[in-house]
Chains A and B, each alone.
Chain A
Amino acid sequence: MSTTSLSFLLFVKKNITKLSFVILCELGVAPINMFESPFLPSSLLDPIVTSSTFLTGSNNNQLYLHSHPVESPRAGLALIHGLGEHAGRYTSFYQLFNKLGISVYALDYEGHGKTLEMNGAKGRTRVAVRYNLIMNMASKSITSLQDLTVTLR
């Protein structure tokens, strides 16, 4: 771990009582020597081995799949990332689960991460289309109830 990064982490650790996950996740995209983290036992972490492929999504779109399998898994773990992030942020943590004999799989959802990069499609556009569909459905539902009918002037 670089001196600058270590100083930064110590600063953060000193100044806040509850570390946000985002800060630790940033470690996941850092060089391998940064795994000498004061927050994670280095013995649990090996160099990252990642295989990636695509999974066909519900719209027949290709979603980037982060695949971290182990031989003879005891269980499987599907990680679902949140809005405005991507599954690649959690790569270093997948190894912890691999150490437990758990195969890990995670998608970069539509408009996020490598799915956005590889498809070259603006996720926000599709989200907007879906938003309109939802609003249309909602407005039909609402106008069917007289009490909820609103007239815009």
Chain B
Amino acid sequence: MLMDTEKLIAYVRNQIGPSKKIFVVSTSKTVIEAISRILTFANSLAIPWYDATHCMAIIEQINDSMTNREA
């Protein structure tokens, strides 16, 4: 699964270009912990997404992250 995830992230990188940030979000705690360890891609950030109450917070976090980057 992790190798497939690496392929997915590589695909996303290819789609959006080298300079854009990639957010890796998972609804699985186990997965996100594993991803955080292997995530060596530049401009990437792993974010856990465990429940609905967390959803808007994640959107805000991502938006803030992009805003800071673009500022």
Could you tell me which A residues sit within 8 Å of B by CB distance? 18-21, 23-25, 39, 55-58, 63, 65, 69, 73-83, 85, 90, 93, 96-97, 100-103, 105-107, 109-110
The number of chain B residues with a CB under 8 A from chain A is: 38
For chain A, what secondary structure do more than half of its interface residues adopt (helix, strand, loop), or is it mixed? mixed
Q: Which residue of A lies closest to B43 (CB)?
A: A75
Minimum Cβ distance to chain A for residue B31 (Å): 5
Evaluate whether A100 and B62 lie within 8 angstroms (CB atoms) in the complex, with A73-B20, A78-B22, A110-B4 already known.
Answer: yes
For chain B, what secondary structure do more than half of its interface residues adopt (helix, strand, loop), or is it mixed? helix
Minimum Cβ distance to chain B for residue A52 (Å): 13
Q: Which residue of B lies closest to A67 (CB)?
A: B15
Q: Which residue of A lies closest to B11 (CB)?
A: A55
Known: A25-B52, A56-B7, A80-B5. 19 other contacts (CB 8 A): A19-B52, A24-B52, A55-B7, A74-B20, A74-B70, A75-B20, A76-B15, A76-B21, A77-B25, A78-B5, A78-B23, A78-B25, A79-B26, A80-B24, A83-B30, A93-B55, A100-B63, A106-B8, A110-B1
